[in-house]
Amino acid sequence: MIVNSSIIRTFATPIVALIFWLLPIRVGQKPLMTMAFLFWLIGGIALTIVGAKRLTEAMDAHNGDFMVLGIGLIIAVAIGLAKGRFVLSKTSKRNIERLQTLALPAKLIQVYSVKSWIIIEIMLLISASLTWFGADPFWRGLVNVAVGLALLMSSLTYLQSKPSEPTASTTD
């Protein structure tokens, strides 16, 4: 049986969160920061690649109309870079501050707050709904490129952060 990739993407976040919650592993601040950075980076790379693939499909479907594709791509890149720089980088900074105040060692699920896990799932549902409702590959590609670049930009925030002094755990 072939499973639709949009279905897999939709349920990936809750499955990863559940695995992280169930695993008895506890780690320090640096591994959590590294994980948060890598998730944002890998998600950004994946979405940008998928977006570029969809834009290529759209160009083929629209007989290679480079003008429409070019203008759309410029807008998607501008929106993605701006959103990454001014919106998602603030989200990353808040997560860094939260990670720096955790009692260590912390469970893997604490790489993001509950609110962040929910927002990630909502974004995946929006992306999947574009597929489910048959949105044109051009629009899906533009959304994927914009969100992918925003994630890439905001992932750089994790590289600029300095680890704080470890906080000892008060519970065993």
pLDDT at position 6: 66
pLDDT at position 4: 65
Q: What is the pLDDT of residues 41-71, one digit of tens each?
A: 999 999 999 999 998 888 877 776 778 788 8
Of the chain, the percentage scoring pLDDT greater than 70 comes to 90
Residue-by-residue DSSP string for 30-96: HHHHHHHHHHHHHHHHHHHHHHHHHHHHHHHHTTT-HHHHHHHHHHHHHHHHHHIIIIIHHHHHHHH
Local confidence band at 128 (pLDDT 50, 70, 90 cut-offs): confident
Q: How far apart are CA 160 and CA 92, in angstroms?
A: 11
Q: What are the angstrom distances between the C-alpha of 115 and each of 45, 74, 118, 160, 164? A: 23, 31, 5, 23, 23
Q: How far apart are CA 25 and CA 104, in angstroms?
A: 12
pLDDT of 104 > 80? The answer is yes
Tell me whether strands 106-107 and 26-27 are parallel, antiparallel or unpaired.
antiparallel
